[in-house]
Chains A and B, each alone.
Chain A
Amino acid sequence: MRTGKEEFLDMLEKYQGILHKVNMVYFRNPSDREENFQEMVYQLWNSFPSLKNKESIGSWIYKVAINTSITKLKKDSRFVYNENVPDTVDEDAETGMERSEKSKLLLNAISELNETDKAVMLLYLDGKSYEEISEITGISKSNVGVKINRAKKTLKEKLKFLSNGK
């Protein structure tokens, strides 16, 4: 018979990509990412018994992962909106990742968005519907649309600028 922990680990193995994506968007330093990854896993484990609707596991994981990351940012006093980040992502974090140059630029551009736009764009780029984004973030659907359009425009401008600068 499978234990709750086994079930949890199976789910985690299947959906771990979400945690890595949230981590990439919110943290640039490899040690912060490692620490946050552990914290997200732990918070998911703590909340696992309260997961009722097994059909919306993805949304639940996004909620816990984003909320944990934002809380960690605050704890570490690095809660800076629109902070200027370097044009290149950390090389250590890139180890083993065959990311295209443009994907790197996109990640850099997302990192420069404010905390809520990061979450909204992460969800949008991962193919979530406006309704799902609204459920995960708690923002109204119309507001989600406005934020996405604005963030997309910003991202495209940044990408154009960064590409030209290369």
Chain B
Amino acid sequence: MENDELKQLWSGAGVEALSMTKDELKSILGAKIQKSMNRFILITSVAALTSAGVLVFLLITGMERKSDPLYVINNLTLGILTITSLILSLVSWYRLGKADYSFSMSEMIRRKRDMISRSLYSPYRKVKVLVIPLLFVLTVMAINVFYSGKTYAEVLNSEESLAALIAGVVVGLPVSFYVERKLYKQQLSYLNELKDLYRQLVSVDEG
């Protein structure tokens, strides 16, 4: 079989039959833009409304208990963590959505590989494991102290609260580690696939 024959066969692959009119293409583009917009609106609205709700609760309860410095610090820390998490999540989601595909294949794979590597081996990753149970404990304390009518120190010193806190940490920490480990493995497998693909591209020895 000659080389030209391969090209001739390929030209008969029949993509002409799949050809769409300009109106059909316009409708596909319109539907996809709408779908992406809806997703963007849904995700940002849910994230913003949830965070706003938490922040309003923290602000109101903090103002009512401003004589209790430990409670104010608890709510302040929770507020800062909430805002930081919201910003980081939205920025990372926005970056993912803005991925540029107009680079050469190897450049795109290299960029994705480097991005995953940075995320996998960043020290921030280890901090996240501790932030989840911390958020849990601070939230439980913010609600518990406010509705118990006691001060932060009193709640902290009571046996029930201490037991609940220990239980929270004991359950929260392994769950947090488990989720983190799962995500880590997923990303690691993605990274290995990208490395393989990059190797395929740059190596002449691989078939």
The judgment on whether A and B are partners is yes
B18 to chain A, nearest CB (A): 5
A103 to chain B, nearest CB (A): 4
Instruction: Judge whether A114 and B201 touch: CB under 8 Å.
Output: no
Residues of A within 8 A of B14 (CB): 97-99, 103
Instruction: Judge whether A152 and B18 touch: CB under 8 Å.
Output: no
Residues of B within 8 A of A103 (CB): 9-10, 12-14
Select one of B10, B20, B102 contacting A126, CB under 8 A: B10
Contact with A along B195-207 (1 / 0, CB 8 A): 0110011101001
Instruction: Judge whether B105 and A21 touch: CB under 8 Å.
Output: no
Chain B: which residue is nearest A153 at the CB level? B207
Residues of chain A having any CB pair with chain B under 8 Å: 5, 8-10, 12-13, 16-17, 20-21, 24, 37-39, 41-43, 45-47, 50-51, 60, 63-64, 66-68, 70-71, 74, 79, 81, 96-100, 102-103, 106-107, 114-117, 119, 125-127, 135-139, 142-143, 146-147, 150, 152, 154-156, 159-160
Instruction: Judge whether A138 and B105 touch: CB under 8 Å.
Output: yes
Q: Compute how far the CA of A109 lies from the CA of B58 in the bound complex, rounded to whole angstroms.
A: 62
For residues 85 through 122 of chain B, which have their beta carbon under 8 Å from a beta carbon of chain A?
Answer: 98-109
Residues of A within 8 A of B98 (CB): 46
Select one of B9, B22, B36, B200 contacting A10, CB under 8 A: B22
Select one of A24, A41, A81 contacting B25, CB under 8 A: A41
Interface size class of B (residues with CB under 8 A): 35 or more
Instruction: Judge whether B190 and A74 touch: CB under 8 Å.
Output: yes
Select one of B25, B100, B207 contacting A13, CB under 8 A: B25
Q: Compute how far the CA of A99 lies from the CA of B17 in the bound complex, rounded to whole angstroms.
A: 10
Q: Which stretch of B27-35, B142-150, B155-163, B170-178 is in the interface?
A: B27-35
Residues of B within 8 A of A126 (CB): 10
Select one of A81, A97, A107, A137 contacting B196, CB under 8 A: A81
Instruction: Judge whether B10 and A41 touch: CB under 8 Å.
Output: no
Chain B: which residue is nearest A127 at the CB level? B7
Instruction: Judge whether A106 and B193 touch: CB under 8 Å.
Output: no
Residues of A within 8 A of B15 (CB): 17, 20-21, 24
Select one of B1, B19, B33, B105 contacting A136, CB under 8 A: B105
Instruction: Judge whether A136 and B32 touch: CB under 8 Å.
Output: no
B127 sits at the interface (CB 8 A): no
